[in-house]
Structure formats: C-alpha cells, structure tokens
Structure 1
Amino acid sequence: MDSKRQQKVSRLLQKDLSEIFQRDARHLFNNAFITVTNVRISPDLAIARVYLSFLVVKEKEALLEAIRERSRTIRQQLGDRVRHQLRIVPELHFYFDDTAEYAAKMDALFADLEIPPAPAEEED
C-alpha cells in the first residue's frame, strides 16, 4: 500500500511525463502516441516505474527500447518541470503496459463461450 506522499508524487509524475511524451519529446519517437498509464514510486521516492501504452505502433519493443535509451533526456525534462516540488528527481524505469490488450483478449474469450440455458424448474 502506497503512502499519501507516494500517491501524490506518482500523480505528479504521471501528469508531467504525459505532457512530455505528448508535447515535448514526441519528435524523438517518430510522433508515436505514447500514454503513461501508471506510475509506481518506491517508498524513498528514488525510483519510479513508469508503465506506458502505445497506440498505432507496429514495433512496440523497439519503441520501448528507444524510450529506455533516451531516459536520461526524459528525466532531465522531468526535472525541469518538478524541480520546485521534489528534492530528488527519481530514476525512471519504463515498462510496457499490456492491460488493454489483456482485457481485449479476455473479452474475446468470454464472447466465444457457449453457456447452455439453465434447466427449467417444475412448479407444484
């Protein structure tokens, strides 16, 4: 369970990283539409695990690797935004968030299920 401080910092980082990926660093990643779905921060606020979702991207692993290679630049831009709110800019670890794909797969599985109707009960 995250503390209130962790939750506040996570929301702040998610908002600022979303703006960086949507506006400032979009040209670095071939104008890919990158969404920050979740940010989890360590209790000491030193490490942030950032979960990303990509839309209309064919090579998701290659894009994630490009983001990891440019994490220093992203962290620097993040530091410019949060320098008055945070004492230390956390180290950023990027992960692919596949919850949307997982949900679509589960929906497809449930749609293919054939459930027979319940037997009718006889009345007295």
Structure 2
Amino acid sequence: MESKRQQKFASLLQQDLAAVFQRDLPHLFPGLPPGISTVRVSPDLGVARVYLSLLLVKDSEAMLRDIRDNSKAIRQALAKRIRKQVRVIPELNFFLDDSASYAARMDEVINTLHIPPAPTPDDETDTPPENKRPKLFADEDE
C-alpha cells in the first residue's frame, strides 16, 4: 500500500506529465497525446512507473517504443515543471495500460456464457414444505 506521500507525489507527476505530453512536447506524439491512467511511485520517490492508455492509437507498441526512446526528453521537460516542488526528479518507466482492453475481453467472455435460468417457484420438488423445518443435524428429532 502506498503512503500518502507517494500518492500525492504520483498525483503531481500524473498532472505534470499530462501537461508535458500536451503542451511541452506535442511534436513527439503525432495525433493524440497518450493518456496517463496511473502513476506508481517507489517508496524513496526515485522511480515512477507510468501506465499509459493508448486506446485511440493504431499501433500502440510503436507509440510506447517512441515514448521510451524519448524518455530522457520527457524527464527533462518534467524537471522544468516540478524542479521547485521536489528534491529528486524520478526515473520514468513507461508501461502500456491494457486494463480497458482486458475489461472489454472479459465482457465478451461473460456475454458468451450460457447460464441456465433460475428454477421457478412452481417446481414443488425442489422446495421444502412450509410447515416442516429442515434437519440441521442427523441425530435431530422430528
């Protein structure tokens, strides 16, 4: 579980990285800039794992590769934004966030399941009589 400090720092990184992608370095990302779904920070605040949402990008692997290749420039642009707020600029590790595609796949699997309907109350064989109490123990008297 992350501490409050890690959560606050991760939130700061998420907001400022989004601004870096949209305003400072838009020339690195043709089309739409990548969305940042989550940022996880190590306890010493030295390493940040940035999970990117690349749903609208046709070739997400190529875009992720480009982002990783330009991680030094991204880190420098981030440093310009947060240098007065933090002591150490974290190392950025970028990962593809596939939770949305995973959720869509699980939705598809669940929709293809065949679930039989629940028994109707008209079935007298499965329901116990109303006046007779079910036995809880084998040696219980009737």
TM-score (structure 1 length as normaliser): 0.93
Aligned residue for 2:66? Answer: 66
Question: What is the distance in 2 between the residues matched to 1:3 and 1:114?
Answer: 44
Cα deviation, 1:66-116, whole Å, max 9, x if unaligned, reads 000100110011111111110010000000000000000011111111211
TM-score (structure 2 length as normaliser): 0.82
Matches within 5 A, 1:6-25: 6-25=6-25
Aligned residue for 1:86? Answer: 86
Question: What is the distance in 1 between the residues matched to 2:19 and 2:55?
Answer: 16
Matches within 5 A, 1:40-119: 40-119=40-119
**Residues paired across the two proteins, number:** 124
Residue type matched to 2:106 in 1? M
Aligned-residue sequence identity (percent) comes to 54
Question: What is the distance in 2 between the residues matched to 1:39 and 1:58?
Answer: 23
The farther-off stretch of 108-117 and 97-106 is: 108-117
Higher strand fraction: Structure 1 or Structure 2? 1
Aligned residue for 1:38? Answer: 38
Cα displacement (A) at 1:24: 2.1
Cα deviation, 1:1-46, whole Å, max 9, x if unaligned, reads 1111101000000011111112222221212331000000111100
Tell me the C-alpha RMSD between the 2 structures. 1.3
Question: What is the distance in 2 between the residues matched to 1:85 and 1:24?
Answer: 18
Structure number, greater radius of gyration: 2
In structure 1, list runs of 5 or more residues that go unmatched. Answer: none
Higher helix fraction: Structure 1 or Structure 2? 1
Question: What is the distance in 1 between the residues matched to 2:54 and 2:109?
Answer: 23
Question: What is the distance in 2 between the residues matched to 1:56 and 1:50?
Answer: 18
Question: What is the distance in 2 between the residues matched to 1:59 and 1:112?
Answer: 28
